[in-house]
């Protein structure tokens, strides 16, 4: 059972995490939700389309203008509080690697800290433990935040993913993070080239076999773009194909831009796998 905020999710229940970027320079939407009202409208739409988690980020993942911790706090804390007020039952996640930001957003009502840079600040897990919130433990190949991979290599990329993510998860639980609120993420694109990300997807069942709930962040990423030779705005089909494979292999949480489309994909896979009944069943019954 995965427990996040006020919500509980059965082991075979797919969970959609909708991305809401509080940045003026995000790679996908170029700042469309930087201002409060468009961002709140995005939250409302995502919840209506089936997102259980809203993932709020104040710094884009890639290189760009320096964003201080104080500025990241300014971009996220007030927004977290407002989402908490308007949507009391939604699970609020914040994408940050900084402990001081984690502390501030937990005070404002966040339920999950999404540590996409693989424990680069070990104090972040301590914050999650202190506030008894969820934690995403990600493999980033030891990369520094906001850097792109350069000539990265692994003897066995999945072995390294398992070593790092399971180690981070076990440390988090030892610190006091509730075990049922910890997720592991292979970190597609982070500290990896395209072949590494494809292999991580192909071998995702090895992560699922650890027993930790697996989160995948696939949405419109570079490994999809390079695999199909498509620019950012033309990666939805490749993303959804990768999502379907990940769902079949046992991933549970999906961090996405396209909520409605992802919801249909993961629900269809769950029904094929026998974990979800059809929404309606009329054919051949009359």
Any idea what DSSP says for residue 61? S
Residues paired with 21 in a beta bridge: 57
Cα 37 → chain centroid = 23
Question: Which residues are known catalytic residues?
Answer: 221, 255
Q: pLDDT tens across 243-277, in order?
A: 999 999 999 999 999 999 999 999 999 999 999 99
Bridge partners, residue 184, by sequence = 137, 214
Domain 2-272 of CATH type 3.20.20.20: yes
Q: In 132-230, which residue ranges form alpha helices assigned H by DSSP?
A: 157-175, 194-202, 204-208, 222-228
Q: Which residues of the chain have pLDDT under 50?
A: none
The predicted-structure confidence for 10-40, as pLDDT tens digits, reads as follows 999 999 999 999 988 666 666 677 788 899 9
Q: Is residue 93 classed as helix, strand or coil in its secondary structure?
A: strand
What residue ranges do the domains of the chain occupy? 2-272
Spatial neighbors of 262 by CB under 8 A, at least 6 apart, are 16, 240, 243, 254, 256
């Amino acid at each position: 059972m995965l427990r996040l905020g006020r919500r509980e999710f059965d082991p075979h229940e797919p969970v959609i995490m909708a991305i809401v970027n509080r940045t003026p320079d995000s790679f996908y939407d170029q700042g469309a939700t930087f201002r409060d009202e468009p961002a709140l409208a995005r939250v409302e739409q995502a919840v209506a389309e089936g997102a259980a988690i809203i993932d709020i980020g104040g710094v884009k993942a890639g290189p760009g203008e320096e964003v201080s911790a104080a500025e990241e706090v300014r971009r996220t804390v007030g927004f977290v509080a407002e989402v908490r007020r308007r949507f009391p039952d939604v699970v609020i996640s914040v994408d940050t690697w900084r402990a001081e930001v984690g502390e501030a957003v937990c005070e404002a009502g966040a339920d999950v800290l999404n540590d996409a840079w693989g424990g680069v600040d070990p104090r972040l897990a301590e914050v999650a433990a202190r506030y008894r919130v969820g934690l995403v433990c990600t493999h980033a190949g030891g990369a520094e935040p906001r850097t792109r991979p350069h000539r990265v290599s692994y003897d066995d990329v999945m072995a390294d993913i398992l070593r790092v993510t399971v180690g981070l998860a076990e440390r988090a639980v030892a610190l006091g993070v509730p075990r049922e609120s910890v997720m592991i993420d292979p970190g597609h694109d982070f500290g990896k080239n395209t072949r590494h990300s494809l292999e991580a997807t192909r071998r995702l069942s090895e992560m699922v076999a650890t027993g930790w709930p697996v989160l995948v962040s696939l949405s419109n990423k570079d490994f999809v773009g390079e695999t199909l030779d498509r620019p950012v705005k033309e990666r939805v089909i490749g993303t959804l194909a990768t999502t379907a494979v990940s769902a079949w292999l046992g991933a549970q949480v999906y961090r996405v831009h396209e909520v409605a489309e992802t919801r249909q994909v993961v629900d269809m896979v769950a029904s094929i796998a026998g974990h979800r009944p059809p929404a309606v069943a009329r054919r051949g019954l009359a």
